[in-house]
Chain A
Amino acid sequence: MQEELATQRHTEQKLQLNKKKKKVTKDQWIALGFLAPSFILILIFVYGFIGWTGWVSLSNWNSLVQDMSFAGLKNYLFLFQDFRFQADLRNTIFFTILFIGLVIVMGLGLSILIDQKTRGESLFRNIFLFPMALSFVVTGVVWQWLLNPSTGFNYFLKVFGIQPKWYTDTNILAGFEWGNIEFGLPVAIIAVVIAAVWQMTGFSLAMYLAGLRGIPEELREAARMDGATEFQIYRKVILPMLMPITVSVVIIMAHISLKIFDLIYAMSGSGANFVTDVPGVYMFETTFQGQYYANGAAIAIIMLLLVAVFIVPYLITNRRSDS
């Protein structure tokens, strides 16, 4: 009997919902009308041009004269045998690992410190957030000067007898021969990472701070009642709850680091022996200075695929949790 009633109620609800749905369709049409122009524009100017770039990357267009004849994977094969591109991939791997790792560690650490209800909290928050207001180009120019081997910071270091070469260092740490290049951590990348981390730590700090504030005080209280130490509370309660934020930070930082161009172009350029070169810089130079349009398009497509490696799994898990 009860079951019947329940199902009846359920169908009634459904009917009501359907009615409601019909009612909102007018609103939906309006919304669709507003969305359509940007949707169409994005379809053409984002996805259309991705397609065009992909098509160019399969062509022979490697001079000022447009030549769309089909070249197959020639441009891609060239890149993977190319010294410079192999160096770019190596640099991107190490840049991404160091950059994301440090942004998370620094952002989390600083946000936990700020969360201790310190005096002048907003002052600290602002100080750490300010670098984010600058563009990467400005950051690049500033750090180029600071870390130039003969200016800035190095006068101070000279007192201690240290004279690092920063982004002009051509050494590769723990290197071994791999393809045409020496695979290992290029020392010069560390200098670039410092600048990038300086710029982006504020972002992860803000994210983590918001996350920390979102954790109810009762949870900590309860843990304290159970006799947990502060360290245990962070390790067992708070950090797991911040996991979704960490995922967001990783996704956002990953696409920044895989596409990075302006910071490096302004700060170190491609560097001696291409120790600070990245696909973005190579793409720019090969396309617009060397006029190898097809090669440049191939680099762009590879960059897109690199970003997709990070973004697509995220989108899939997001969809799953939505439904």
Chain B
Amino acid sequence: MKKLLGFFSLFAMVLVIAACSSSSSGEGGDNAESDGGDGSSESGGKVEIFSWWTGAGEEDGLLALLDLFKEKHPDIEIENAAVAGGAGTNAKAVLATRMQGDDPPSTFQVHGGAELNEGWVAAGKMEPLNDFFEEQGWMDKFPQDLIDLVSKDGDIYSVPVNIHRGNVIFYNKHVFEENGIEVPQTFDEFFAAADKLKEAGITPLALGDKEPWTATQIFENILLGVLGPEDYRGLWNGEVSFDDERVVEAAELFKKTLSYVNEDHASRNWQDAAQLVGNGEAAMNIMGDWAKGYFSNDLELETNVDFGYTTTPETDGEFMVITDTFGLPKGIKNPDDVKKFLSVLGSVEGQDAFNPLKGSIPARVDADPSKYDQYGKDTMEDFKEAKLTPSLAHGSAAAAGFLTKVNQAVNIFVTQLDVDKLIESLKQASSEL
């Protein structure tokens, strides 16, 4: 009997614990689902901000931005609905499900370019923001190329908060100095440096392609280097075919590049790969400049002392642009509160709170350069002059479906190194562009 009683009390306890945990997690879920729903009926309301900024650096930037918003609009409640996962792989899936279910977050992070325009705008899920841009006086505060990147058919659909550069090589300065290596500018110099490093027993190029977009990013940079900005853009509007001989040449260079990477690349993510460069096991890392945030915030390395940076081979004066933007989904209940958030996001103050911590540069041309480190200053300078090209790996150049197919083709290529097969898959996928 006693035993039975004990069993029942244990059972009851388990039930209570289960109920507690489910109710607390349920709360979060409910809030997330009803975002503006019950918030808007009260004064102030609630803004749910959906992003994939959970890593060090990026999260610091987001929190600084949210703090600034809280300061300006203390009556509006903020919900930080960030979903972890490199390059938003998980967040984008969650977002797609919520949008399909007519349950959009108040505002969400989306890359300017195809991801926004061919995705959410084409599906009729976004509100145009032209009047809002005029009202805020932003039309001449963002570069025209950038406004074009967040517009479809003349309507503007989101507010850019930052600019990342995708065509950067980060290198370990100590390793370069010890081995007497010049910073490479061309493919020939790059391979010469790589050979020298290989002989010295150092992995020339760090790669972590557990998520295949990192390899795709190397390929897109090689494509840009070989084709130049005009023809690189031509790939996405059908002017340049994927069986063009220069694309084949780029694939050959990609193949050669892959022979210089660390052996365990398939088990690493991009941070793990950057870490190899940070601790001197590898010399170079081709990565977007969020890696800079990782180097200085997580690994506490000093810019231009511990690590240096240069553009990927033969892309000097070109800028593979990745911009995070926030828009206004259709069907949310408190668009005015969301617009207040967007106006903070697009202000000089907001951009200067966010970007120095995130490691990106502001999307506005009139932001304060003194708030940024040397890398930021250099990149801001380049951004004004360079030719902007949309990144494929980050969904700016082409729609998500095409990108998924390219990532699959690249994943196969990294192992099989079959150039013909890669070109064939690209050509097949491009019929969907």
Contact = CB atoms under 8 A, between A and B. Distances in A.
Q: Do A and B truly interact? A: yes
A83 B401 contact: no
Interface string A302-315: 00000000000000
Interface string B71-90: 00000000000000000010
A172 to B, nearest CB: 11
A246 interface: no
Interface stretch (B43-51, B117-125, B239-247): B117-125
Interface in A158-174: 165-168, 170
Interface string B85-116: 00001001100110110000000000000000
Given A64-B122, A148-B267, A272 B400 contact: no
Interface in A122-153: 144, 148-150
B415 A272 contact: yes
Interface stretch (B24-32, B169-177, B403-411): B403-411
Contact of A165 (B100, B122, B210, B264): B264
A83 B89 CA distance: 22
Contacts of B267: 144, 148-150, 166-168, 268
Nearest to A293: B100
A269 interface: yes
A289 B400 contact: yes
Contact of B92 (A149, A286, A288): A288
A64 B104 CA distance: 14
Contacts of A270: 411
Given A65-B123, A150-B264, A167-B267, A289 B404 contact: yes
Contact of B415 (A63, A84, A166, A170): A170
A241 to B, nearest CB: 29
A115 interface: no
A284 B415 contact: no
Contact of A65 (B96, B122, B211, B404): B122
B415 A292 contact: no
Nearest to B402: A290
B416 interface: yes
B401 A290 contact: yes
B209 interface: yes
Nearest to A285: B404
Q: How big is chain A's contact interface, by range?
A: 20 to 34
Contacts of A184: none
A83 to B, nearest CB: 6
A272 B93 contact: no
Given A149-B264, A272-B411, A288 B96 contact: yes
Contacts of A211: none
A150 B120 CA distance: 41
A64 B123 contact: yes
A65 B266 CA distance: 34
A291 B412 contact: no
A289 B93 contact: yes
Given A148-B264, A149-B263, A64 B411 contact: no
A64 B265 CA distance: 33
B210 A269 contact: yes
Given A149-B263, A165-B264, A271-B266, A289 B119 contact: no
Given A65-B123, A148-B264, A271-B266, A290 B416 contact: no
A321 B195 CA distance: 71
A291 B264 contact: no
Contacts of B414: 272-273
B404 A286 contact: yes
Interface residues of B, number: 33
Label chain A's interface by main secondary structure.
loop
Label chain B's interface by main secondary structure.
helix
Given A65-B123, A269-B210, A288 B411 contact: no
Contact of A273 (B92, B401, B416): B416
Contacts of B415: 170, 272-273
A274 interface: yes
Contacts of B401: 62-63, 290-292
Given A149-B267, A269-B211, A290-B400, A83 B93 contact: no
A122 to B, nearest CB: 16
Nearest to B125: A64
Interface in A38-85: 62-66, 83-84
Contacts of A289: 89, 92-93, 96, 400, 404
A271 B265 CA distance: 10
A270 B266 CA distance: 10
A273 B411 contact: yes
B92 A64 contact: no
Contacts of B209: 272
Contact of B264 (A65, A168, A285): A168
A69 B163 CA distance: 40
B404 A168 contact: no
Given A83-B412, A274-B411, A290 B405 contact: yes
Contact of B408 (A63, A84, A149): A84
Contacts of A268: 210, 267
B152 to A, nearest CB: 14
Contacts of B399: 63
A301 B119 CA distance: 26
A286 B266 CA distance: 20
Contacts of A290: 400-401, 403-405
A271 B123 CA distance: 32
Interface of B: 89, 92-93, 96-97, 99-100, 119-120, 122-125, 209-211, 263-267, 399-401, 403-405, 408, 411-412, 414-416
The 4 closest A-B pairs by CB, nearest first: A290-B404, A288-B93, A273-B415, A64-B123
28 contacts: A62-B401, A63-B122, A64-B100, A64-B119, A64-B125, A65-B123, A83-B408, A84-B408, A148-B264, A150-B264, A165-B264, A167-B266, A168-B266, A168-B267, A170-B266, A268-B267, A271-B266, A272-B414, A273-B412, A285-B404, A288-B93, A288-B97, A289-B89, A289-B96, A290-B401, A290-B405, A291-B401, A292-B404
Given A64-B125, A148-B264, A150-B264, 10 more contacts: A63-B401, A64-B99, A64-B119, A65-B124, A83-B412, A144-B267, A270-B411, A289-B89, A290-B405, A291-B400
